[in-house]
Structure formats: structure tokens, C-alpha cells
Amino acid sequence: MCSFEKRIKKKQSGAENRCGLCTDSILEPLSFPEQTVDSSNTFILQCPRNELLVCLFCSESAPLLQKDVLLKHLLLEHKLVIADVKLIADLPKYMLYWKGRFLEQPVKDFCSVIKTNATGPVEKQEDYFLLCDVLPEDRILREKLQQKRLEEVLEQQQKERDDSNFHRLCMFCSEEFTGNRSFLLNHMAREHSFSIGLPDNIVYCNEFLDTLQSKLDNLQCLYCEKIFRDKTTLKDHMRKKAHRRINANNREYDRFYVINYLVKKNNSASLFSELISSQVAFYSFEHKEIFLFENFEKFVL
């Protein structure tokens, strides 16, 4: 048994008391973005808006905030995987588009096929479909959605820049600020050595400050994200450890910086990264194949 197999064995035995569908990552019950720290390097630029995602094949649907539920449904019920979901600027629109196209033409015309158990007996082989931007139509769609999102963000940023009705209390000293958002941001930087960046680089400023405020309300340090028993201990900790700053590894903040919408993402990363990082599947270097965890037993036999 190679080390890879051992790791999977270990993983499976650890999960045996739990429901087979509720193990790690995407299969977990929901966690809201406010609490999620995405350790991968993917940017999260999708607005957590209250929109509905519809299945590409049936009437099943789920709110955007619970997209993992629908992605799991697509995988288990329709054997379809969408690559690099996190890079899709507008997932509801993306899915609606493909739903329409799949009504016109068979899935096989658009998707790459992943065969599971390709080295095993034919009757144990299964075809999974991968929808990804290798297909020019998919790439163009992704680019269009990204372009549209960028336009929305720039428009929003301009609005916030010009807005003189901004009104908010400083989260450190409760001083009240009215007028341009830069007054408050500059105050926090000057008086409390807390900077989230130049006001002009920021978008969805109120939401950004709400996110930070809710962390402090939960007695959580903004930098190391540890939780403290009371406000005084938290304050002391942040001051002494110089933790009065933002945790740059928290991808939850990416969507508040305009620059992240301008950068062209490297989409050439493994097509299967989504599958693998969500631990639905793994890549066997030995067999040069993708295997789904579900079918792993078949593979060992």
C-alpha cells in the first residue's frame, strides 16, 4: 500500500461513524462565508447575494450561499463537475446559461469525460463529465461574466467614492463619522494604527467594516482570528501582539479590494483542482488517473 492509499484508508476509517455524504469539505453541512477562512489561494469574488442556483438537468435548486449542496447534487445525481467554480464571477448566470445549452445539445458535446476505474473491469467503469474552460464557449462565458462583474464593481466603487452620506462609528473608539468614508478610514489608520488600505482601493466598504465589526463583536482577533473571553483581553491581545491589522490570508476579504477584480486569473491550474481540493476525488500519480473517494474501495480491490 503506498502512502497515498494509507492516507485515504486513514481518512475513511476516521469518517466511518459519520454519514457517508457528510464527511469533509464540500460535503459538510453549510458554513457561512463570514466564518470561512479559505486556506487555498483562490480568490473569492462571488457576492454572497441571495440568489438561487438551479440544477443544469432537473428542477433541484439551492441558494447561492449553499452552492456546495448543488455541486454535490450535480456530482452524485448527474455525474457532472464544474471546474474552478470559485473563479466564476456569477455562478447563477453561468448555470442558467448551461442549463439552456444542455436542453439543445447532449452534455457529451461540451464536456470532457473522466473515466473512473479505467484500469478496472468495464462494468465498474463510470463516466463523469467535466465542464471547464478548455471549451471555448465556456471560456468566453466565464470571461463575459467576469467582465460584467468588473463593470459592476467599478460602478459601485465610484458611487462609494462620491457618497457623502456615509455614516458610521469607529469600531475602536466609537467616534461618529459622517461624510465621505475616507474620514473614518483615515481616522482608524491615524488614531488606531489600523489600515485596511487606501480608501480608493476599497469597494463594498460598509460590508467590509460590518465583517470586521462582527469579528470584534464575537471577541475574535482580526489578525490571528483567535477568540477571547472578553473585550478587555481581546483589546490587550491585539495591542500587545500588534494584531490590530487584517489577516491577509483570509480570502474572505478579497472581494473588498478592487485590484482583485482586475487581475487576470491563472486558469491553467489543474482542471481537477476543484475536485481534488474539495476532496471528492484524488489523483493517483502511479495510475495517472483521477479516482473518486466513493469508488476507492473498488480501486484497492
User: Any contact of residue 97 with Zn ion (CB under 5 A)?
Assistant: no
- What separation in angstroms does the CA of 126 have from each of 92, 111, 211, 280, 285? 28, 15, 44, 15, 20
Window 237 to 276, contacts with Zn ion (CB under 5 A): 243
Task: Give the three cell numbers for residue 143.
Answer: 470571461
CA 160 to CA 182: how far, in whole Å?
Answer: 10
Q: How far is the CB of 237 from Zn ion (least distance, A)?
A: 6
User: Any contact of residue 51 with Zn ion (CB under 5 A)?
Assistant: no
Q: How far is the CB of 246 from Zn ion (least distance, A)?
A: 11
Interacting residue with Zn ion among 224, 227, 259, 262 (CB under 5 A): 224
User: Any contact of residue 228 with Zn ion (CB under 5 A)?
Assistant: no
Q: For residues 289 and 119, is the Cβ–Cβ distance under 8 A?
A: yes
User: Any contact of residue 227 with Zn ion (CB under 5 A)?
Assistant: no
CB-nearer residue toward Zn ion: 12 or 180: 180
In this chain, which stretch among 83-91, 120-128, 155-163, 219-227 interacts with Zn ion, using CB under 5 A? Answer: 219-227
In this chain, which stretch among 12-20, 143-151, 162-170, 283-291 interacts with Zn ion, using CB under 5 A? Answer: 162-170
Interacting residue with Zn ion among 170, 219, 269, 276 (CB under 5 A): 170
User: Any contact of residue 99 with Zn ion (CB under 5 A)?
Assistant: no
User: Any contact of residue 72 with Zn ion (CB under 5 A)?
Assistant: no
User: Any contact of residue 168 with Zn ion (CB under 5 A)?
Assistant: no
Q: How far is the CB of 272 from Zn ion (least distance, A)?
A: 22
Q: How far is the CB of 69 from Zn ion (least distance, A)?
A: 11
Q: How far is the CB of 177 from Zn ion (least distance, A)?
A: 9
The count of chain residues that interact with Zn ion, using the rule CB under 5 A, is 12
In this chain, which stretch among 28-36, 41-49, 50-58, 104-112 interacts with Zn ion, using CB under 5 A? Answer: 50-58
Which residues of the shown chain bind Zn ion in the complex (CB under 5 A)? 55, 57-58, 60, 170, 172-173, 175, 221, 223-224, 243
